[in-house]
Amino acid sequence: MPATVKDWIGEFLASGINEKNWSSETHRAYQNDLAQFEEHLRSVFEIQYGSDLEQIHSVHFRSFTASLMQKNENLSVARKMSTLRTFFKYLKRKGVVSRDWLALIPSPKTERKLPEFLKIEEVMELLRAPDLNTWTGKRDLALIEIMYGCGLRVSEVEGLRMESIETRPGWLKAFGKGRKERWVPLPEPAQEALRDYLEHRPEPNDPKLLFLGYRGTALTSRGIALILGRQLLKAATFSPEWIDGNRKISPHALRHSFATHLLSAGADLRSIQELLGHSRLSTTQRYTHLNLGEIQESYLRAHPLSKK
């Protein structure tokens, strides 16, 4: 049996990788949150041994929450409390603790922000941005075409291999959260951009790799984010008015744009849910709120009372 709290955290993290197929981002988030909790238990309450976990109750959690609230936003605190809930459910299954004190401690309320997305004309400007005279520009265009045309997460793009596009022509195989496999239609523009890129890219270090960095190695999530940020800035030079100084567009924006534009064009939520790889329909339903501006514009154009 693990001897210390830190040992139990290690066992929990290992089970997440081996049994739950966590992504590297999920693993890193859990690891950081639990390290912070373990340090709080040790420094404030002198709890460090695995046998002491049974003695933990609401006072310890409230103390940890209070320390977080002094320096963190509610969203960060809510995420850390979610991590602890998952960890202590694991400990309860293992028989290490007998009570779930976290059930008595509510998470702080967080403002539910709507996902940022690009308008269709903004996406068109972005697709014009890459320099197609270079192999890296051809790669960047293929990246943007796939992220917008298939609605992939950045981590899913990072995981793409040659077999992802070769197994079933006209389709792309992606692995989402928990390594869940799904097939997404690969639009013709994305196929053309990929063919052009593959014809001109340098020899990869690994022939199975799809997207390459400068040195012929796999392109990372950070590299993809930097590429998108660079191309967004370049696109803004074509139409400076569509980027304002306070607007923060994340690499996830193309995925959100994919879902929003499908919904606007009449696609049903269930189909969008499957394409995005969401396990719950409620996650996909966030995109219904994004159409309120369009509804208002339609009203102002068509309703007689709006013309007074």
Q: How far is CA 172 from CA 204, 209, 254, 265, 282, in A?
A: 20, 14, 17, 22, 25
Instruction: Identify the CA nearest to 62 among candidates 12, 107, 10, 95.
Output: 107
The question of whether 278 is a catalytic residue gets the answer yes
Beta bridge partner(s), residue 142: none
Provide the 8-state DSSP code for 119: -
Cβ–Cβ < 8 Å for 273, 282: no
Q: With CA atoms as reference, report the closest residue to 227 among 211, 243, 239.
A: 211
Is 94 a known active-site residue?
no
- Tell me whether residue 200 is one of the annotated catalytic residues: no
Cα–Cα distance for residue pair 182/143, rounded to 1 Å: 18
Q: How many whole angstroms separate alpha carbon 219 and alpha carbon 143?
A: 11
CB atoms within 10 A of CB 80: 22
Residue from 42, 85, 161, 252 carrying the catalytic annotation: 252
Q: Is residue 177 annotated as part of the catalytic site, yes or no? A: yes
CA distances from 134 to 200, 202, 228, 278 (A): 8, 11, 16, 36
Given 138, 139, 153, 256, the catalytic residue: 153
Active site residue 161: no
Residues 20, 60, 161, 177: which is the catalytic one?
177
Contact 21, 175 (CB under 8 A): no
Examine the residue annotation and report whether 247 is marked as an active-site residue of this protein.
Answer: no
Instruction: Find the length of the chain.
Output: 308
Give the SS3 label for residue 205.
Answer: coil
- The catalytic residue positions are 153, 177, 252, 255, 278, 287
